[in-house]
Amino acid sequence: MLKNTKYETFFYYWIASLILLLSSMIIVGGLTRLTDSGLSITQWQLFSGILPPLNEIKWEYYFSLYKEIPQYILVNNNITIEDFKIIYLWEYAHRLLGRFIGLFFLLPLIYLIYKKFFVKKLKFNLIFIFCLILFQGFLGWYMVKSGLVNNVSVSHYRLSMHLSLAFIILSSLVWIYMNYVRGSEKLFFNKNKNILSIQILFALIFCQIILGAFVSGLDAGKIYQTWPLMNSSFFPDDVVFVKLIDYLNFNNHSLVQFFHRNLAYIIFFLSIYIGFKIFKINNRQLLKTYLIFFIIILLQIFLGIMVLLSGAHLYLASLHQISSIFLIISSLNLYHRSIPL
Protein backbone atom coordinates (compact mmCIF):
# COMPACT_ATOMS: atom_id res chain seq x y z
CA MET A 1 0.00 0.00 0.00
CA LEU A 2 2.93 2.35 0.76
CA LYS A 3 6.37 2.64 -0.83
CA ASN A 4 8.19 3.14 2.47
CA THR A 5 7.42 3.42 6.16
CA LYS A 6 9.34 6.57 7.06
CA TYR A 7 6.25 8.79 7.19
CA GLU A 8 3.73 6.19 8.35
CA THR A 9 2.87 7.94 11.62
CA PHE A 10 2.32 11.22 9.78
CA PHE A 11 0.10 9.47 7.22
CA TYR A 12 -1.92 7.74 9.95
CA TYR A 13 -2.70 10.93 11.86
CA TRP A 14 -3.36 12.84 8.64
CA ILE A 15 -6.02 10.37 7.41
CA ALA A 16 -7.55 10.02 10.89
CA SER A 17 -7.73 13.82 11.24
CA LEU A 18 -9.36 14.15 7.81
CA ILE A 19 -12.03 11.64 8.83
CA LEU A 20 -12.75 13.65 11.99
CA LEU A 21 -12.81 16.94 10.06
CA LEU A 22 -15.16 15.57 7.40
CA SER A 23 -17.45 14.16 10.08
CA SER A 24 -17.46 17.60 11.74
CA MET A 25 -18.24 19.16 8.37
CA ILE A 26 -21.28 16.93 7.92
CA ILE A 27 -22.47 17.80 11.44
CA VAL A 28 -22.04 21.55 10.89
CA GLY A 29 -23.71 21.25 7.48
CA GLY A 30 -26.66 19.44 9.03
CA LEU A 31 -27.07 22.13 11.69
CA THR A 32 -26.78 24.80 9.02
CA ARG A 33 -29.72 23.22 7.23
CA LEU A 34 -31.75 22.61 10.40
CA THR A 35 -31.33 26.23 11.50
CA ASP A 36 -32.24 27.48 8.00
CA SER A 37 -28.91 29.30 7.84
CA GLY A 38 -27.70 28.09 4.46
CA LEU A 39 -29.01 31.05 2.46
CA SER A 40 -27.68 33.75 4.78
CA ILE A 41 -24.58 34.30 2.60
CA THR A 42 -25.84 35.07 -0.88
CA GLN A 43 -22.47 35.30 -2.64
CA TRP A 44 -19.78 32.75 -3.43
CA GLN A 45 -16.70 34.56 -2.10
CA LEU A 46 -13.94 32.01 -2.49
CA PHE A 47 -11.16 34.29 -1.22
CA SER A 48 -12.78 37.53 -0.01
CA GLY A 49 -15.14 35.55 2.22
CA ILE A 50 -12.38 34.10 4.39
CA LEU A 51 -12.91 36.78 7.05
CA PRO A 52 -16.35 37.46 8.57
CA PRO A 53 -17.82 40.98 8.66
CA LEU A 54 -15.62 43.00 11.04
CA ASN A 55 -17.76 46.10 11.54
CA GLU A 56 -21.40 47.16 11.55
CA ILE A 57 -21.19 48.60 8.03
CA LYS A 58 -20.22 45.20 6.67
CA TRP A 59 -22.95 43.50 8.69
CA GLU A 60 -25.54 45.92 7.30
CA TYR A 61 -24.27 45.25 3.78
CA TYR A 62 -24.63 41.47 4.04
CA PHE A 63 -27.99 41.85 5.74
CA SER A 64 -29.18 44.06 2.86
CA LEU A 65 -28.19 41.32 0.39
CA TYR A 66 -30.13 38.76 2.42
CA LYS A 67 -33.21 41.02 2.37
CA GLU A 68 -33.36 40.65 -1.41
CA ILE A 69 -33.99 36.89 -1.48
CA PRO A 70 -37.38 35.11 -1.14
CA GLN A 71 -36.49 33.50 2.20
CA TYR A 72 -36.31 36.89 3.88
CA ILE A 73 -39.23 38.45 1.98
CA LEU A 74 -41.64 35.55 2.55
CA VAL A 75 -40.44 33.91 5.78
CA ASN A 76 -37.91 35.91 7.79
CA ASN A 77 -38.91 39.53 7.22
CA ASN A 78 -39.28 40.07 10.96
CA ILE A 79 -35.71 39.11 11.96
CA THR A 80 -33.31 41.68 13.33
CA ILE A 81 -29.67 42.12 12.36
CA GLU A 82 -28.72 40.28 15.56
CA ASP A 83 -30.81 37.30 14.44
CA PHE A 84 -29.17 37.52 11.03
CA LYS A 85 -25.71 37.40 12.57
CA ILE A 86 -26.50 34.01 14.10
CA ILE A 87 -27.58 32.35 10.86
CA TYR A 88 -24.78 34.09 8.95
CA LEU A 89 -22.13 32.71 11.31
CA TRP A 90 -23.51 29.15 10.95
CA GLU A 91 -23.07 29.32 7.18
CA TYR A 92 -19.74 31.12 7.55
CA ALA A 93 -18.44 28.37 9.84
CA HIS A 94 -19.58 25.77 7.31
CA ARG A 95 -17.73 27.47 4.46
CA LEU A 96 -14.61 28.21 6.52
CA LEU A 97 -14.38 24.59 7.62
CA GLY A 98 -14.67 23.53 3.98
CA ARG A 99 -11.74 25.77 3.02
CA PHE A 100 -9.67 24.43 5.91
CA ILE A 101 -10.37 20.81 4.91
CA GLY A 102 -9.28 21.56 1.35
CA LEU A 103 -5.93 22.97 2.51
CA PHE A 104 -5.49 20.30 5.17
CA PHE A 105 -5.93 17.66 2.47
CA LEU A 106 -3.83 19.30 -0.24
CA LEU A 107 -0.66 20.38 1.58
CA PRO A 108 0.21 17.02 3.23
CA LEU A 109 -0.75 15.27 -0.02
CA ILE A 110 1.75 17.35 -1.99
CA TYR A 111 4.40 16.76 0.68
CA LEU A 112 3.92 12.97 0.71
CA ILE A 113 3.89 12.81 -3.10
CA TYR A 114 7.13 14.81 -3.14
CA LYS A 115 8.62 12.32 -0.67
CA LYS A 116 7.47 9.46 -2.93
CA PHE A 117 5.57 7.90 -0.06
CA PHE A 118 2.62 6.43 -1.99
CA VAL A 119 2.34 3.57 -4.40
CA LYS A 120 0.79 4.67 -7.69
CA LYS A 121 -2.73 3.40 -6.98
CA LEU A 122 -3.06 5.10 -3.59
CA LYS A 123 -1.65 8.34 -4.96
CA PHE A 124 -4.24 8.30 -7.75
CA ASN A 125 -7.05 7.56 -5.27
CA LEU A 126 -6.07 10.44 -2.98
CA ILE A 127 -5.76 12.89 -5.88
CA PHE A 128 -9.20 11.81 -7.06
CA ILE A 129 -10.63 12.35 -3.57
CA PHE A 130 -9.13 15.85 -3.53
CA CYS A 131 -10.84 16.56 -6.87
CA LEU A 132 -14.11 15.42 -5.26
CA ILE A 133 -13.49 17.89 -2.41
CA LEU A 134 -13.03 20.70 -4.93
CA PHE A 135 -16.20 19.65 -6.73
CA GLN A 136 -17.99 19.55 -3.38
CA GLY A 137 -17.28 23.26 -2.95
CA PHE A 138 -18.83 24.00 -6.33
CA LEU A 139 -21.77 21.72 -5.54
CA GLY A 140 -22.35 23.58 -2.28
CA TRP A 141 -22.70 26.87 -4.14
CA TYR A 142 -24.86 25.21 -6.81
CA MET A 143 -27.14 24.10 -3.96
CA VAL A 144 -27.27 27.56 -2.38
CA LYS A 145 -28.13 29.18 -5.73
CA SER A 146 -31.32 27.11 -5.91
CA GLY A 147 -32.73 29.03 -2.95
CA LEU A 148 -31.82 32.58 -3.97
CA VAL A 149 -34.35 33.31 -6.72
CA ASN A 150 -37.70 31.52 -6.63
CA ASN A 151 -37.57 29.39 -3.47
CA VAL A 152 -37.42 30.00 0.27
CA SER A 153 -35.04 27.05 0.77
CA VAL A 154 -32.52 25.11 -1.27
CA SER A 155 -33.51 22.34 -3.67
CA HIS A 156 -33.76 19.03 -1.82
CA TYR A 157 -32.27 17.32 -4.88
CA ARG A 158 -29.18 19.51 -4.76
CA LEU A 159 -29.03 19.12 -0.98
CA SER A 160 -29.03 15.34 -1.34
CA MET A 161 -26.28 15.55 -3.99
CA HIS A 162 -24.20 17.71 -1.64
CA LEU A 163 -24.68 15.35 1.30
CA SER A 164 -24.16 12.21 -0.79
CA LEU A 165 -20.81 13.48 -2.07
CA ALA A 166 -19.76 14.31 1.49
CA PHE A 167 -20.46 10.71 2.52
CA ILE A 168 -18.67 9.35 -0.57
CA ILE A 169 -15.56 11.35 0.36
CA LEU A 170 -15.82 10.28 4.01
CA SER A 171 -16.37 6.62 3.09
CA SER A 172 -13.41 6.65 0.71
CA LEU A 173 -11.08 7.94 3.43
CA VAL A 174 -12.45 5.49 5.99
CA TRP A 175 -11.80 2.62 3.56
CA ILE A 176 -8.21 3.79 2.99
CA TYR A 177 -7.76 4.10 6.76
CA MET A 178 -9.07 0.57 7.42
CA ASN A 179 -6.85 -0.90 4.70
CA TYR A 180 -3.86 0.85 6.25
CA VAL A 181 -4.40 -0.08 9.91
CA ARG A 182 -5.23 -3.69 8.99
CA GLY A 183 -2.40 -4.09 6.52
CA SER A 184 -4.72 -5.05 3.68
CA GLU A 185 -5.55 -3.87 0.18
CA LYS A 186 -9.20 -4.84 0.02
CA LEU A 187 -11.25 -3.45 -2.86
CA PHE A 188 -14.52 -1.70 -2.10
CA PHE A 189 -16.17 -3.09 -5.25
CA ASN A 190 -15.74 -6.76 -4.46
CA LYS A 191 -17.30 -9.59 -6.50
CA ASN A 192 -17.42 -12.14 -3.66
CA LYS A 193 -20.99 -13.52 -3.65
CA ASN A 194 -20.74 -14.47 0.03
CA ILE A 195 -20.86 -10.81 1.05
CA LEU A 196 -23.62 -9.75 -1.35
CA SER A 197 -26.14 -9.22 1.45
CA ILE A 198 -23.75 -6.85 3.27
CA GLN A 199 -23.11 -4.97 0.03
CA ILE A 200 -26.85 -4.57 -0.46
CA LEU A 201 -27.16 -3.43 3.15
CA PHE A 202 -24.54 -0.72 2.66
CA ALA A 203 -26.19 0.42 -0.59
CA LEU A 204 -29.59 0.65 1.15
CA ILE A 205 -28.08 2.65 4.03
CA PHE A 206 -26.61 5.06 1.51
CA CYS A 207 -29.99 5.37 -0.23
CA GLN A 208 -31.56 6.01 3.18
CA ILE A 209 -29.18 8.90 3.76
CA ILE A 210 -30.22 10.37 0.41
CA LEU A 211 -33.87 10.02 1.40
CA GLY A 212 -33.00 11.62 4.73
CA ALA A 213 -31.66 14.63 2.82
CA PHE A 214 -34.97 14.76 0.92
CA VAL A 215 -36.86 14.70 4.22
CA SER A 216 -34.66 17.47 5.61
CA GLY A 217 -34.80 19.59 2.46
CA LEU A 218 -38.58 19.35 2.25
CA ASP A 219 -39.12 19.63 6.03
CA ALA A 220 -41.06 16.41 5.59
CA GLY A 221 -40.36 15.40 9.18
CA LYS A 222 -42.80 18.06 10.36
CA ILE A 223 -45.83 16.21 8.99
CA TYR A 224 -47.31 12.88 10.12
CA GLN A 225 -45.75 13.13 13.57
CA THR A 226 -47.01 9.74 14.70
CA TRP A 227 -45.50 6.26 14.79
CA PRO A 228 -45.84 3.45 13.77
CA LEU A 229 -48.73 4.63 11.60
CA MET A 230 -48.90 7.83 9.60
CA ASN A 231 -51.76 9.27 11.60
CA SER A 232 -54.24 6.38 11.46
CA SER A 233 -52.99 4.54 8.37
CA PHE A 234 -49.92 2.77 7.05
CA PHE A 235 -49.91 4.84 3.85
CA PRO A 236 -50.30 8.65 3.91
CA ASP A 237 -53.93 9.54 3.27
CA ASP A 238 -53.24 12.87 1.56
CA VAL A 239 -51.48 11.32 -1.45
CA VAL A 240 -53.52 10.96 -4.65
CA PHE A 241 -52.22 8.86 -7.53
CA VAL A 242 -53.31 9.32 -11.12
CA LYS A 243 -50.47 7.58 -12.93
CA LEU A 244 -47.92 4.96 -11.91
CA ILE A 245 -45.15 7.56 -12.05
CA ASP A 246 -46.86 9.42 -9.22
CA TYR A 247 -45.57 6.75 -6.84
CA LEU A 248 -42.06 8.14 -7.49
CA ASN A 249 -42.91 11.77 -6.85
CA PHE A 250 -40.00 12.83 -4.63
CA ASN A 251 -41.41 16.34 -4.40
CA ASN A 252 -44.30 15.04 -2.31
CA HIS A 253 -43.55 15.55 1.39
CA SER A 254 -45.79 12.73 2.60
CA LEU A 255 -44.49 10.21 0.09
CA VAL A 256 -40.86 11.03 0.87
CA GLN A 257 -41.48 10.47 4.59
CA PHE A 258 -43.27 7.19 3.76
CA PHE A 259 -40.27 5.95 1.75
CA HIS A 260 -37.84 7.02 4.48
CA ARG A 261 -39.83 5.17 7.15
CA ASN A 262 -40.20 1.96 5.21
CA LEU A 263 -36.67 1.78 3.90
CA ALA A 264 -35.62 1.90 7.57
CA TYR A 265 -37.73 -1.23 8.21
CA ILE A 266 -36.12 -3.02 5.24
CA ILE A 267 -32.63 -2.12 6.50
CA PHE A 268 -33.53 -3.31 9.99
CA PHE A 269 -34.79 -6.73 8.87
CA LEU A 270 -31.88 -7.19 6.44
CA SER A 271 -29.53 -6.41 9.35
CA ILE A 272 -31.18 -9.14 11.44
CA TYR A 273 -30.82 -11.62 8.55
CA ILE A 274 -27.11 -10.78 8.24
CA GLY A 275 -26.74 -11.17 12.00
CA PHE A 276 -28.15 -14.70 11.85
CA LYS A 277 -25.66 -15.57 9.10
CA ILE A 278 -22.75 -14.24 11.17
CA PHE A 279 -23.93 -16.10 14.29
CA LYS A 280 -24.10 -19.26 12.21
CA ILE A 281 -20.47 -19.12 11.07
CA ASN A 282 -19.40 -18.16 14.64
CA ASN A 283 -16.69 -15.67 13.61
CA ARG A 284 -16.02 -13.84 16.89
CA GLN A 285 -14.28 -10.83 15.39
CA LEU A 286 -17.00 -10.36 12.79
CA LEU A 287 -19.69 -10.94 15.41
CA LYS A 288 -18.28 -8.16 17.61
CA THR A 289 -18.19 -5.82 14.61
CA TYR A 290 -21.78 -6.74 13.75
CA LEU A 291 -23.06 -6.11 17.29
CA ILE A 292 -21.56 -2.61 17.29
CA PHE A 293 -23.22 -1.96 13.94
CA PHE A 294 -26.57 -3.32 15.11
CA ILE A 295 -26.57 -1.17 18.25
CA ILE A 296 -26.03 1.89 16.06
CA ILE A 297 -28.87 0.76 13.76
CA LEU A 298 -31.19 0.53 16.77
CA LEU A 299 -30.06 3.97 17.99
CA GLN A 300 -30.63 5.47 14.56
CA ILE A 301 -34.15 4.06 14.32
CA PHE A 302 -34.96 5.21 17.86
CA LEU A 303 -33.75 8.74 17.11
CA GLY A 304 -35.72 8.78 13.86
CA ILE A 305 -38.91 7.92 15.74
CA MET A 306 -38.18 10.55 18.40
CA VAL A 307 -37.62 13.19 15.70
CA LEU A 308 -41.09 12.47 14.34
CA LEU A 309 -42.83 12.41 17.72
CA SER A 310 -41.09 15.62 18.83
CA GLY A 311 -42.12 17.60 15.75
CA ALA A 312 -38.59 17.53 14.31
CA HIS A 313 -36.96 19.00 17.42
CA LEU A 314 -33.63 20.63 16.49
CA TYR A 315 -31.40 18.69 18.89
CA LEU A 316 -33.01 15.33 18.16
CA ALA A 317 -32.88 15.94 14.41
CA SER A 318 -29.20 16.87 14.73
CA LEU A 319 -28.48 13.72 16.76
CA HIS A 320 -30.26 11.67 14.10
CA GLN A 321 -27.99 13.17 11.44
CA ILE A 322 -24.87 12.69 13.58
CA SER A 323 -25.70 9.03 14.20
CA SER A 324 -25.87 8.52 10.42
CA ILE A 325 -22.10 9.18 10.35
CA PHE A 326 -21.53 6.41 12.89
CA LEU A 327 -23.90 4.19 10.93
CA ILE A 328 -21.97 4.61 7.68
CA ILE A 329 -18.61 4.03 9.39
CA SER A 330 -19.84 0.98 11.31
CA SER A 331 -21.40 -0.52 8.17
CA LEU A 332 -18.14 0.08 6.27
CA ASN A 333 -16.28 -1.61 9.11
CA LEU A 334 -18.63 -4.61 8.92
CA TYR A 335 -18.26 -4.76 5.16
CA HIS A 336 -14.46 -4.48 5.29
CA ARG A 337 -14.10 -7.25 7.88
CA SER A 338 -16.47 -9.48 5.90
CA ILE A 339 -14.18 -9.48 2.86
CA PRO A 340 -11.76 -12.42 3.09
CA LEU A 341 -8.04 -11.68 2.79
pLDDT digits (tens, 9 = 90+) for 145-192: 998 888 888 999 999 999 999 999 999 999 999 999 998 999 999 888
What residues does 233 pair with on adjacent strands? 230
Last residue of a domain, one of 160, 185, 210: 185
258 and 114 together in one domain: no
- In this structure, of 57-66, 100-109, 185-194, 240-249, the range with the lowest mean pLDDT score is 240-249
Q: Please report which helix (H) or strand (E) contains residue 201, including its range.
A: helix 196-218
Domain count, the chain: 2
Strand ranges, E, within the chain: none
State yes or no: cis peptide before 228, omega within 30 of 0: yes
17 and 98 together in one domain: yes
Q: Which residue range forms the structural domain that includes residue 330?
A: 189-341
118 and 54 together in one domain: yes
Statement: the pTM of the whole predicted model exceeds 0.85: yes
3 and 36 together in one domain: yes
For residue 38, give the 3-state DSSP assignment: coil
Report yes or no: 222 and 36 within 8 Å, Cβ to Cβ.
no
Residues sharing a CB contact under 8 Å with residue 183, sequence separation 6 or more, in sequence order: 1
Q: What is the average per-residue pLDDT within 240-248?
A: 79
Write down how long the chain is: 341
- pLDDT score of 82: 93
180 and 100 together in one domain: yes
173 and 232 together in one domain: no
